[in-house]
Amino acid sequence: MSEFLFLGTGAADWRIEDKGEFFRRNSAALINRELMIDCGEHIFDFAESVNNSSLYNNVTDIIITHNHRDHICKDTVLKLAQQQKIRVGCDRNIMNKIGEHSNIEYNIFKPFEGVRMGNYSIMPILANHDVVINGDSCAYHYIIETSDGKTIFYGLDGAWFLRPSWEEMKKHMFDIMIFDCTVGDNDDWRLFEHNTISMLRTMIKEIKERNILKDNGRLIASHLAKTLHGSHEETELILNKIDVLTAYDGMKLEL
Order of all β-strands in the sheet with 28-31: 104-108, 86-90, 61-63, 35-37, 28-31, 3-8, 252-254
Provide the pLDDT for residue 235.
Answer: 97
pLDDT tens per residue, range 99-113: 999 999 999 999 999
Lowest-pLDDT choice from 17-21, 33-37, 79-83, 234-238: 17-21
pLDDT score recorded for residue 131: 67
Residue 135 has pLDDT above 90, yes or no: no
**Residue 25 carries which DSSP code?**
P
User: What integer pLDDT is reported at residue 21 of this predicted model?
Assistant: 85
Residue 203 has phi, psi (to 5 degrees) of -65, -40
Cis peptide before 180 (omega within 30 of 0): no
The pTM is what? 0.96
Looking at residue 26, what DSSP letter applies?
Answer: B
Lowest mean pLDDT among 15-24, 149-158, 210-219: 15-24
| Rounded-to-integer distance, Cα 177 and Cα 13, Å | 23
Residues β-bridged to residue 153:
143, 177
Are the CB atoms for 35 and 120 separated by under 8 Å? yes
Phi, psi dihedrals of residue 229, rounded to the nearest 5°: -125, 155
Q: How far apart are CA 29 and CA 36, in angstroms?
A: 6
Residue 13, SS3 per DSSP? coil
Q: Which domains does the chain have, with CATH numbers?
A: 3-250 (3.60.15.10)
User: What is the pLDDT at residue 120?
Assistant: 98
Q: What is the pLDDT of residue 133?
A: 64
